[in-house]
Structure 1
Amino acid sequence: MKSIMRKIGVVALSLGTLVGLAACGSNDNSSNGSKDEVTLTVGFWKGDSTAEDSARKKAFENFTKETGIKIKEKVYNDYETQLMTDLVGETAPDVFYVDVSNLPSLTEQSVLEPLDDFIAEQDDFDKDDFYEPIYKAFTGDDGKQYGLPKDYSTLGFYYNEDLLSQAGMTADDTPQKYEDLEAFLMKLQEKLPDVQPMVFSPLLARQMYIMESTGGKIVTDEGKANLDDPQVVDALQILVDLYEKGLIKTPDDLGDGWAGDTFGRGGAVISDEGAWMISHLKNNFPDLKWGVKEIPEINGEKRNMVFTVSYSMNAATKHKDESWQLINYLTHDAMKDYAEEASVLPSRKSVAEELKINDDAVMKPFAEAANYATPWQDGPNLTLIMQRYENMFPSALKGEMTLEQAMKEATESANKDIENK
């Protein structure tokens, strides 16, 4: 599921061109010929594991066996750029992946087909079987459903069992509240002076749930950057304070490319990373003893981030009924086998129950968070805002400017970018 985090850019599409293209095909609900003559093109980015690629291929093959509808795969290496080109050139796939962060941009361009009519006609469709935040993440501002989630990842509080033991602690000593995090990390620092207490990634996608924990919003209702909101700054200050005391550091500070390597080599006791780190640890650090808990509560509330991808329908497809059959099949009939083989978290609660996700000590914290996590999405300008945040936040961490100054500069530069789009 590391691929989820790699697809957090927003597709920059030409509104006039794409609305026109979508309109050309939006009223064609017919199939050209019988179903055994239909071939659907499905667009996706390459998975991070051969298991995921194999699971998807098997799902496509089984769908063809059951329906006679053939599948043509279209694998994108530069997904956002290539999909944009295909949409403009009227060669976009019938069905394609949509990262949750891209949904506002694509719905704004009217290139996604609403699924509501298909859902209403599907007798066995149960939207309540999906984790609510994940399902609603693909509901547009107009209340229409523009995709069904295939899987997801949330964040977890990873801990190194051996290092905790060396510090005279166990997993039960890890904090349940963010307010207790500093005291916990200080104890680790005291007991293990040669080991970094915690590694974290200074990314907006990882801090959004913290920044909005006091009631502020990082994006205004008008889609403008709001990073300098006093409530947002106040919520973020805890990370600056922890960094100044050396209790948290970035992978770059520690000479690593990402937190998974720092944590895996025993360079940090704690890491707040996504479920995508599980396979990395198992494959590259098989002797490491580690565990996961839910992210500590903030201001008395459970909070987290969820990253998810849907199967969505091209508004201009000439095979709407068949495209819906495929989307429904992949997110219903095929989900259990796909999740099991690809080692991803299923977006349906019934499938999670079948796979006994909540009986798995490692996977349970991620699944629990799916019930309340904040989707990585907030309007069509989120990527621009993210870029400016990640340019300026390190300056605040290093003491080169105050957090207030850094967030003010990030807000102003992001809004200039937005105005010049």
Structure 2
Amino acid sequence: MWKNFKRIGLVMFLALLVVGLAGCGGKTESKEKKTLTVGFWKGDSTTEDAARKKAFSKFTDKTGIAIKEKVYNDYDTQLMTDFVGGTAPDVFYVDASSIPTFYEQGALEPLDKYIDKQKDYDAADFYEPIYKAFKGEDGATYGVPKDYSTLGFYYNEDLLAKAGMSSTDIPKDYSELEGFLTKLKEKLPDVQPMVFSALLARQVYIAESTGGKIVDKEGHANLNDKKVVEALQILVDLYKKGLIRTADDLGDGWAGDTFGRGGAVISDEGTWMISHLTNNFKDLKWGVTELPTVNGKKGNMAYTVSYSMNSGSKNKDDAWKLINFLTHDAMADYASEASVLPTRKSVADKINVASDEHLSPFAAAADYATPWQDGPYLSLISSRYDNMITSALKGEMPLEKAMKEASDSANQDIENQMK
């Protein structure tokens, strides 16, 4: 715009003034708006996306720090590529199962020094199993959990009534499950008694219910441990009798569709199925109850995601401000608006989770559920299990042999990666 001035002397004066101000250093720079980049995967619902954006906006209003969103499709792969390239976000989602991998790569900033300075933090306010899922081998905290899910027994009210039963007839222990499902099959021969997912991520609490461990102390697969095989046998027995089937067996993409269309009376799924049923099967009458105990002991799975900090971030203090804000100040609104379970007990009380007929059974398991996290090779071990368990279920090979092949295959790959 300077060309509009006709008096050259004034132009020179103003030009010198600009140079002089620039030489004063940080005063002009301090007025520049700070920005944090946050990485995440696309939400399971539009309500979740909207709730996250609202939380980001409130943080900006409070601090003046802008948020730049970075959405990934192939999350872990793309995020790790960004770490290699030096373009990873300041703050990002980490699934609990991925903590060991990112920890070994040195990608995560330990958060304990920030937590210690945060007077209102209160680590004891988090559900213990969920909070501990983000600890590294060194005992440091590498993420703060933002929300979680456990598993529950979904039940179709109309189908139970048609079979002359109600939710009170659902077994309290797995030892009673066969009798219950058998009765359903007799009363409703055209309906599958139960649809389930044949995935290790869903069945660790069963596999370890007799004292076995799916991963040994060295991080190797231990699926063929006699105690693990013994515990899993109940699934094989139920499957052989036609009492449980996978969604794929029934011609569906996932259990939510099988259950939603009335193709199964029972489904063991997480909170993610609530929005699916609510949005796509509005006339369905359904409820949820806690999972039955296994061998008389409570068991469940916990799936949780953290906000974690990039160890290479140049904005660590501001990154912590965001993490603390999202997992403290904004948690109640986010949980309510996104229909997810808050990881803080005080927030669960504030938004009355215990009185929610659909969420309360999942929240009841938060204090005893097994987090889906067990070393850097868990995803590899899981994939081998998922491949081989089907052969055992369908009677193509004994369960013990299937689990041995799964372990041997996984451990061979693990040894190759260790070299």
Partner of 1:161: 157
Match of 1:401 among 387, 391, 397: 397
Distance 1:81 1:123 in 2: 36
Distance 1:95 1:70 in 2: 13
Correspondence 1:137-152 to 2 at 5 A = 137-152=133-148
Partner of 2:345: 349
Q: Percent identity?
A: 72
Partner of 1:131: 127
Secondary structure at the counterpart of residue 169 of structure 1: coil
Identify the range of structure 1 (188-197 vs 35-44) with the bigger mean alpha-carbon deviation.
Answer: 35-44
Secondary structure at the counterpart of residue 103 of structure 1: helix
- In 2, are the aligned partners of 1:133 and 1:371 still within 8 Å (CA)? yes
Partner of 2:202: 206
Correspondence 1:29-44 to 2 at 5 A = 34=30, 37-44=33-40
Distance 2:362 2:284 in 1: 20
Distance 2:30 2:327 in 1: 24
Partner of 1:267: 263
Deviation per residue, 1:205-244 (Å, 9 max, x gap): 0111100010000001101000000000000000000000
Correspondence 1:209-220 to 2 at 5 A = 209-220=205-216
Partner of 2:388: 392
Partner of 2:14: none
1:111 aligns with 2:107: yes
Distance 1:260 1:376 in 2: 21
Partner of 1:239: 235
- In 2, are the aligned partners of 1:216 and 1:229 still within 8 Å (CA)? yes
Partner of 1:326: 322
Distance 2:415 2:231 in 1: 27
Deviation per residue, 1:122-151 (Å, 9 max, x gap): 111111111111111111121100000000
Partner of 1:223: 219
Match of 1:410 among 406, 411, 415: 406
Partner of 1:337: 333
Match of 1:71 among 39, 42, 67: 67
Partner of 1:84: 80
- In 2, are the aligned partners of 1:35 and 1:67 still within 8 Å (CA)? no
Distance 1:145 1:318 in 2: 20
- In 2, are the aligned partners of 1:55 and 1:338 still within 8 Å (CA)? yes
Runs of 4+ with >6 A deviation: none
Distance 1:52 1:252 in 2: 28
Deviation at 1:109, TM superposition (A): 1.4
Q: Give the counterpart letter for 1:191 in structure 2.
A: K
Match of 1:175 among 171, 175, 181: 171
Distance 1:346 1:169 in 2: 33
- In 2, are the aligned partners of 1:36 and 1:70 still within 8 Å (CA)? no
Q: Give the counterpart letter for 1:87 in structure 2.
A: F
Q: Give the counterpart letter for 1:109 in structure 2.
A: Q
Match of 2:376 among 346, 371, 380: 380
Correspondence 1:270-309 to 2 at 5 A = 270-309=266-305
Distance 1:205 1:384 in 2: 12
- In 2, are the aligned partners of 1:101 and 1:377 still within 8 Å (CA)? yes
The gaps in structure 2 that reach 5 residues or longer are 1-27
Deviation at 1:362, TM superposition (A): 1.2
Deviation at 1:82, TM superposition (A): 0.8
Distance 1:40 1:227 in 2: 43
Deviation at 1:33, TM superposition (A): 6.1
Match of 1:370 among 366, 389, 407: 366
Deviation per residue, 1:75-117 (Å, 9 max, x gap): 1111111101100001100000000000011111111000001
Deviation at 1:36, TM superposition (A): 5.8
Distance 1:268 1:319 in 2: 51
Match of 1:48 among 12, 19, 44: 44
Q: CA RMSD in A?
A: 1.1
Distance 1:265 1:34 in 2: 58
Q: How many residues align?
A: 390
Deviation per residue, 1:347-390 (Å, 9 max, x gap): 11111111111001111110011111000010000011011111
- In 2, are the aligned partners of 1:115 and 1:146 still within 8 Å (CA)? yes
Match of 1:253 among 249, 252, 265: 249
Partner of 1:22: none
Deviation per residue, 1:169-218 (Å, 9 max, x gap): 11100000111101111111111111110000100101111000100000
What is the TM-score of this pair, normalised by structure 2? 0.92
Secondary structure at the counterpart of residue 314 of structure 2: coil
Distance 1:45 1:362 in 2: 25
Deviation at 1:37, TM superposition (A): 3.2
What is the TM-score of this pair, normalised by structure 1? 0.91
Partner of 1:312: 308
Larger Rg: 2
Distance 1:213 1:33 in 2: 59
Correspondence 1:178-193 to 2 at 5 A = 178-193=174-189
Q: Give the counterpart letter for 1:336 in structure 2.
A: A
Structure 1 residues 315 and 118: alpha-carbon distance in aligned structure 2, compared to 1, 3 A threshold? same
Distance 1:251 1:117 in 2: 46
- In 2, are the aligned partners of 1:36 and 1:69 still within 8 Å (CA)? no
Deviation at 1:34, TM superposition (A): 4.4
